[in-house]
Structure 1
Amino acid sequence: MTAHNANPNPLRNQAEVTHPVLVGYLFWILGFVGAHRFYFGKPLTGILWFFTGGLLLVGWIVDAFFIPAMADEANQRYPNGRIDYTVTWVLLTFLGLFGVHRFYMGKIGTGIIYLVSGGLFGIGYAYDVCTLNEQVEELNRFD
């Protein structure tokens, strides 16, 4: 009988965690607006959660049990690099309208634009919520 390996990729170690479970649960607290789903790279269901209140809170409660699996999936998908996903997400969440996350990623030009326009009047902020993981992934791949 072989032992079941809980980690599908045994070559990934704890140092390669890009989306910690604990942070996922902190975003889950705001999960009725889809925050944890956006954080784990699931923008379509994040939008659904946003417009339905976490599927009338039922999906939000169910997600409490799925966060470890979502974290594992995100950790497999998104590579480590010089830009930390969690730091970028926290900056976007709390200071995104001022472009602080863009300055952190080295996107100075758009950071200045966000700073003077309120995240391009909120439209750029919404775009970043849906695409932030991919933006960080792209920057980390070219390190």
Structure 2
Amino acid sequence: MTTNHTDLNPTTADADVSHPVLVGYLFWILGFIGAHRFYFGKPLTGILWFFTGGIFLIGWIVDFFFIPAMAEQANQRYPNGRIDYTVTWVLHLFLGIFGVHRFYMGKIATGVLYLLTGGLFGIGYLYDTCTLNEQIEEVNRGE
């Protein structure tokens, strides 16, 4: 049985799905601050959404219909590997200032640094928000 990447049931999704649609919709709930756009590897529009409240909520509402396409693009761009994209993003969003996502990725030294400095005083947290997909991809390539 073949499923497509827009399948909302993560248990039936293909193994090559690195950015599930369901998770995209969960991040979309916080989408007025750009969370889903950062998750799908679109940091420039994520920043725009952050500073404009999802372009005054209009773009945020429109994005509801584009999430399957954004997930498909992210799945093609970022292949799965040892480090799970969704787990890393959840750790980053909720515990990022403590460096928990960096420990998970195996970046112990910077994890300790984030832990001691509050995510490098927030600057490191912001940097990771814009580059986390690429960092995960790099770690996965170096397996």
What is the TM-score with the length of structure 2 in the denominator? 0.91
Q: Aligned ranges for residues 124-139 of structure 1 at < 5 Å?
A: 124-139=124-139
| Corresponding residue number in structure 1 for 2:34 | 34
- Spell out, residue by residue over 1:50-75, the C-alpha distance to the aligned partner (whole angstroms, 9 max, x if none): 00000000000000000000000000
Is the 1:95–1:101 Cα contact (8 Å) retained in structure 2?
Answer: yes
> 2:117 is paired with a residue of what secondary structure?
helix
How far apart are the structure 1 equivalents of 2:95 and 2:142? 26
| Corresponding residue number in structure 2 for 1:46 | 46
Q: Aligned ranges for residues 42-81 of structure 1 at < 5 Å?
A: 42-81=42-81
Q: Where in structure 2 are there 5+ consecutive unaligned residues?
A: 6-12
Instruction: Quote the RMSD (CA, aligned, Å).
Output: 1.1
Is the 1:79–1:141 Cα contact (8 Å) retained in structure 2?
Answer: no
Larger-Rg structure: 1
> 1:103 is paired with a residue of what secondary structure?
helix
Q: How many aligned positions are there?
A: 133
1:89 is displaced (CA, Å) by 0.1
| Corresponding residue number in structure 2 for 1:108 | 108
Is the 1:78–1:133 Cα contact (8 Å) retained in structure 2?
Answer: yes
Q: Where in structure 1 are there 5+ consecutive unaligned residues?
A: 1-5, 8-12
Q: Aligned ranges for residues 82-93 of structure 1 at < 5 Å?
A: 82-93=82-93
How far apart are the structure 2 equivalents of 1:110 and 1:103? 8
1:112 is displaced (CA, Å) by 0.2
1:96 is displaced (CA, Å) by 0.2
> 2:15 is paired with a residue of what secondary structure?
helix
1:141 is displaced (CA, Å) by 1.1
What is the TM-score with the length of structure 1 in the denominator? 0.91
Runs of 4+ in structure 1 deviating by more than 3 angstroms, as ranges, are: none
Is 1:21 matched with 2:15?
no
- Spell out, residue by residue over 1:53-103, the C-alpha distance to the aligned partner (whole angstroms, 9 max, x if none): 000000000000000000000000001110000000000000000000000
Identity of aligned pairs, percent?
80
How far apart are the structure 2 equivalents of 1:17 and 1:106? 22
How far apart are the structure 2 equivalents of 1:48 and 1:34? 8
| Corresponding residue number in structure 2 for 1:121 | 121
